[in-house]
Structure formats: C-alpha cells, structure tokens
Amino acid sequence: MLVSVGAVTFKSREDHRKQLELEEARKAGLAPAEVDEDGNEINPHIPQYMSSAPWYLNADKPSLKHQRKWKSEKNYTKSWYDRGVKLFQAKQYRKGACQNCGAMTHDRKSCMERPRVVGAKYTNVNIAPDEKIESFDLDYDGKRDRWNGYDTSTYTRVVADYEAREEARKKYLKEQQLKKLEEKDTEKDGEKDAENAGSEDDEEDGLRIDEAKVDESAQMDFAKVEKRVRTTGGGSTGTVRNLRIREDTAKYLLNLDVNSAYYDPKTRSMREDPLPDADPNDKFYVGDNQNRLSGQALEFKQLNVHAWEAFEKGQDIHMQAAPSQAELLYKSFKIKKEMLKSEHKDKIMEKYGNAASEDPIPRELLLGQSEREIEYDRTGRIIKGQDVSLPKSKYEEDVFINNHTTVWGSWWKDHQWGYKCCKQTIKNSYCTGLAGIEAAEASADLMKANMARKEAAEDEPVQQEQKRLATWGTDVPDDLVLDKKLEESLKKEAARKKEERDERKRKYNVKWNDEVTAEDMEAYRMTKIHHDDPMKEFLH
C-alpha cells in the first residue's frame, strides 16, 4: 500500500522491510545493482543521504545527477583586441556616422581624431575607416592579467639595443688596448741602447697584440647566457650564466682546509678570503666581502646608515618608502658637511697660518740672514746690535679701572691681594682713596674692641636669679614661686581629673598626647592621692 502526498511517497511496514532486504542483497552481490536514468549502475554501498535526491528536484527514478556538477561553465576566451585593425572605409558620409571623421563605430563625442574645422558630414572628404569593435567574455584571471595582449616580439628591440651597446663597449676597449700596446712598441723601438736586451720583450708584446686582435668570443665564453633543459624535474629551469673561465681554479679549491672560508654551493658565494695569509699581489680572488666594501655597495650602505640616523633624530625619511628623497637628503648632507669642514679649515688657517702653503717664505726667515750687525760675548749673550725685548704677558698691563691709581695685585696683606692706592682686597671695587683707608682702619679698631669686650664677658660667670620651686616631699613655703610650665601642668592635671570624674564632659573625638615632661610628672605627683595618707580626706 503506497500513500503519496505531493512528491513524498510513504511505504507500509511490509514494503519497507522488503526494501531493506533488497538493499542487503545488493550489497552482498545476490541481487543486481540499481540502474539510473542513463543505464549506469549505482553502487549499493553509497549511503542513502547521498543517493536520494532532494525533494525539490522531483526525481521519479533513482539517479546521481544531483551529486554531479550540473552548471555549465562559460566558454571564456584568451584572445585580445586587434589593435589598429580597420574595416570598411566609405567614400561618402553615412547617416548616423561620426560628424567629425565619418566612421560608423562611434559618435562625435567619443571621436579620438583631431576636431576638424568643417566635419566630414559636410565635406565628404577623408572619411575615416570603421574600427573593429570586439567584446570578450573574460574570466576572473583574464580581467586582471596585466600582460594580456602583449606582443613578445617587441622585446627583441630592447635585446638588440643592449647587444649593440655591449658590442660598442667591447670595440672601444679593444681599440684602447691596441693603442696602449702600440705606444709601448714605439717607445721600445726608440731606445737604441737596449735593442738586444729587449728583443724578448718585443716578441712577447707582439704576441699580446696578436692575442688582442683575436675575436673575443673564444675567451669570453663565460659571459654567454645558456639555457638548461632536460632537468630531473623536466622542462627548463631558466637561464644559467657561467661566471668564470674554465681554466681558472674554482674558489672552493683554493684552500682545501675544512676550517677555511665557508663556501655556499647554492648561491656559489664565499664571503671570507680563502687565503688570508697569501701575498695580495698574487691573489686574484679575495672573497665576496670585497665587493660589499667597495664601489656603489659601500655608498648604498652609507646611505642606509644616514637614513636610519636621520629618522632617529626626528626627520621624516624612509629609505624604502621614499628612496629618491633619502638620496637627495644624503647628497645635501654631504655638501653641507664639506662646507662646514672647509669653513673650519679656513678659520684655523686664518688664525694660525698655513705652513704648507705655496706662498714664498721671506728670505730673512728662510736663510736666517740680515744686514743688521749684532755683537756677542763669549757666553753668547748679545752686547750690541739688538734691543733687549722684554717678556710680554697675555694680560693687559698698566690699565687702571674704577678710579684706581694702581693695578690689582700691587698690595698684599693677610694672604690677600688688593689695590695699593686704597688698600682694598675686593677686585673691581671703586677706589676710595685715603678716606677709605682711614675708614677701614677705624672699622678694624672697632671690631677689635668688640671682640675684646666679648671675650671679657665670656670669662665672667652669669649670675642668675634662683627661683624657689616646690617639689614633691617638701614643705610648701609661703613665698613659693611656681614656674610657668609647672603652673600650666597643674591646670592641665586638674582638668584631666575633673574630666575623669564627669564622663559627660568627655568629647567624642579624644586626642591623646603621649609626651610627658618633667613639669607634668611633678604636677601628677603633687596632685596624686595617697591612700595610706591619714590626711588624704582633707586634701580636697
């Protein structure tokens, strides 16, 4: 019994049991496999959630089409526009064509020709041919391919240009080499005295000329670019350049010591010198670091260092983001540095002179001779002919300031320098003359008298008035004079005891003072109640 509701078919329990038995038999190979719409067998081991089609496909028969790619891809093209291709060229203006050039493929607004004074619509002269308009359906990569439509044959012009430059350079170097060798030959031919001795050298130079005239293609095979094919992975691996002549010793064979310079076979580089102890004149290879420390590599390194230091000091400079700006700043920095060095050098030469200058030295200084007659004694001292030169000081001499008539340092007293005219020991002070000297002497006398009186007062003992103070354990006399601090301590102790007797007068915030003075202890002892005292009840 089958009950169908829409596209969903419900089976009875018996039919469901038979369906399960059939599937088990198909899996065991006892029953033939199920066949789809195209007659292909369906694997019975495929799960049901994969073999059963969704309900919205309305599949009446079993099939696996819903698991396959049912959307067909567009036929994308790899072709490109034919540039410069022209189609039909009319002889008269056609309706709907461009009013400027007469082509049918565009209008006047999008015309790329020069605007004519009178358009082709009115002249019917020089009608432009129709362009070839194409439209391509490109895929995602085709729309973004920057080399799409590039003609590789145009690159042969660039290669030819570089080859022509290289040939011209080789030709120029060959001419220079031949010219130098010919000049050497002419010089040796002119030497008549060394004809026999230099015969062997002439033969060697002649051989050198012959070798230079030979085509360089046999000697310069290392500059040739070859293409390596049939590798282990198949296909070509690009271009390989032979960087040395085959007769030369390989750099990794110069020193076979294991602890010598490291050779990297992948990059064919050896940074350190394989023979550091050998004679530099005999070595033809000193390591790859030589290239890093010479030429443009060193300049580029200095440029990077300058950019880093300038960026650390706050300048907006970055070698990778703006290399042209960094190079210009570096050039301006070098120019300013040279200018500062030259200015500093000029100032030093102006101040101290230049011993290496080309200016002629005075004859008197050069030969040490003059027409002046000087007489010397036996000890070498000058007797006559030259004035005795007094030694000069770098300080100004005999210059009086601030109304002084003598210089500073002309007077000495009590380990102090001063002016002799006014006897002042303060430098750059104003001169007071004799009045100042008298005032200073009177001040000194007064100070001495004060000091003597003070010393006499210190020797005499100070008579202080003795106060009669009452302490605990002694009788209180009638003429007792209480000390002010003790009187305050007694008042404070009386207030404290009064507060202890009446708790209501105690404040909320209690301030304690732990410092106890001698007066406080004396007041406490004077007001303390002695329980053993028979007269304690009469105290208060």
| Residues 59-99: tens digit of each pLDDT | 877 888 888 877 777 777 777 888 888 889 999 999 999 99
Of the candidates 14, 3, 22, 29, the one whose C-alpha atom is nearest the C-alpha of residue 62 is 22
Cα within 13 Å of Cα(304), Cβ side: 7
Contact between 204 and 220 under an 8 Å Cβ cutoff? The reply is no
Give CA–CA dist 241/247, Å, rounded: 16
Give CA–CA dist 107/469, Å, rounded: 130
Contact between 303 and 330 under an 8 Å Cβ cutoff? The reply is yes
Distances, alpha carbon 81 to alpha carbons 70, 77, 84, 448, in Å: 32, 12, 9, 120
Distances, alpha carbon 285 to alpha carbons 86, 241, 250, 291, in Å: 62, 19, 10, 11
Of the candidates 128, 127, 145, the one whose C-alpha atom is nearest the C-alpha of residue 136 is 145
What sign has the CA pseudo-torsion 170, 173, 179, 183? Answer: negative
Residue 503, both tokens? 């708790």
Q: What's the predicted TM-score (pTM) here?
A: 0.26
Contact between 467 and 483 under an 8 Å Cβ cutoff? The reply is yes
Residue 133, both tokens? 């308009």
Calculate the dihedral angle through the C-alpha atoms of 143, 149, 150, 154, rounding to the nearest 10 degrees.
Answer: -170
DSSP letters spanning 272-295: S-S-TTS-TTT-S---THHHHTST
Distances, alpha carbon 152 to alpha carbons 83, 149, 155, 265, in Å: 15, 9, 6, 34
What's the angle, vertex CA 161, arms to CA 158 and CA 166, rounded to 5? Answer: 130
By CB atoms closer than 10 A (0-12, 13-18, 19+), residue 524 is middle
Contact between 412 and 386 under an 8 Å Cβ cutoff? The reply is no
Q: How far is CA 393 from the centre of its chain?
A: 53
User: Under 8 Å CB-to-CB from 170, ≥6 apart: which residues?
Assistant: 216
Please tell me what DSSP assigns to residue 141.
H
Of the candidates 454, 413, 492, the one whose C-alpha atom is nearest the C-alpha of residue 500 is 492
Contact between 168 and 126 under an 8 Å Cβ cutoff? The reply is no
Give CA–CA dist 256/253, Å, rounded: 6
Residue 319, both tokens? 């070698």
Residue 491, both tokens? 């008042």
DSSP H or E segment with residue 8: strand 8-11
CA end-to-end distance (rounded Å), the chain: 126
DSSP letters spanning 231-255: -TTSS---EEE--S-TTSPPGGGS-
Give CA–CA dist 155/150, Å, rounded: 10
- Buried-state track 376-403, b at ≥16 Cβ within 10 A, e below 16: eeeeeeeeeeeeeeeeeeeeeeeeeeee
Of the candidates 70, 29, 27, the one whose C-alpha atom is nearest the C-alpha of residue 48 is 27
- What pLDDT score does 473 carry? 46
Contact between 46 and 34 under an 8 Å Cβ cutoff? The reply is no
Looking at 111-241, which runs of residues are DSSP E strands? 225-227, 239-241
Low-confidence residues in the chain, pLDDT < 50:
1-7, 197, 207, 212, 214-240, 242, 467-474, 476
Residue 511, both tokens? 């301030």
Contact between 417 and 408 under an 8 Å Cβ cutoff? The reply is yes
| Residues 482-494: tens digit of each pLDDT | 577 788 888 888 8
What sign has the CA pseudo-torsion 65, 67, 71, 75? Answer: negative
- What pLDDT score does 232 carry? 45
What's the angle, vertex CA 336, arms to CA 332 and CA 340, rounded to 5? Answer: 170
Cα within 13 Å of Cα(293), Cβ side: 7
Cα within 13 Å of Cα(341), Cβ side: 6
- What pLDDT score does 192 carry? 53
